[in-house]
Amino acid sequence: MYLDEEIIHFSQKIIEYSNALGSIYVEEYQRFLKHEYADLSAKQELTLELLRTKTRTINELADYFSISASAASQLISKLEQLGYVKREINPHNRREIIVDFAQKGHEYHKNIEGIQLHMIQKYYAKLSKEDLKTLLSLYEKIYSIAKETP
């Protein structure tokens, strides 16, 4: 498949800016959270991020990380020992284990929301609503393409 030189150029610049923004965001998060959550690995932090949107089963976490259910259970065990998560049997399917926030996990979630609000005020609030809608639409499109492409 032939790619137009301009498409390659624009795409490379987008990737470059995306990576640079990612680095800035990581620095912001680390500045606010590093000391308080230094006991967490990157995979544990990502697990907590997944739980911020909804409870997950062990199997869903295993699928997300492309690991075995046993390995996902070990990951959850460590977070459970640290007080971030708790496990419950799914009342609708007793063979499933649901993972949800424990007290420390709720505190983590609250802190992340505070950081996100800080970042919204610092960066995104300086854009017009129309620019934000356009940016969101473009991210949704590229995400949809990424999800559909094997």
Positions in the chain short of pLDDT 50: none
Same domain, 72 and 101: yes
Looking at residue 28, its pLDDT comes to 84
Residue 91 is part of a domain; what is its CATH number? 1.10.10.10
Looking at residue 61, its pLDDT comes to 95
Looking at residue 35, its pLDDT comes to 72
b/e sequence 19-50, b meaning 16+ C-beta within 10 Å: eeeeeeeeebbeebbeeebeebeeebbebbeb
Same domain, 19 and 53: no
Looking at residue 9, its pLDDT comes to 95
Indicate the residue type of 119: M
The helix or strand, by DSSP H or E, that contains position 13, with its residue range, turns out to be helix 5-33
Residue-number span of the structural domain to which 21 is assigned: 1-35
Domain count, the chain: 2
Same domain, 50 and 110: yes
Task: Please state whether the predicted TM-score (pTM) of the whole model is above 0.75.
Answer: no
Looking at residue 107, its pLDDT comes to 92
Query: By the 8 A CB rule, do 99 and 58 touch?
Result: yes
Task: Quickly tell me which residue has 């990380």 as its tokens.
Answer: 65
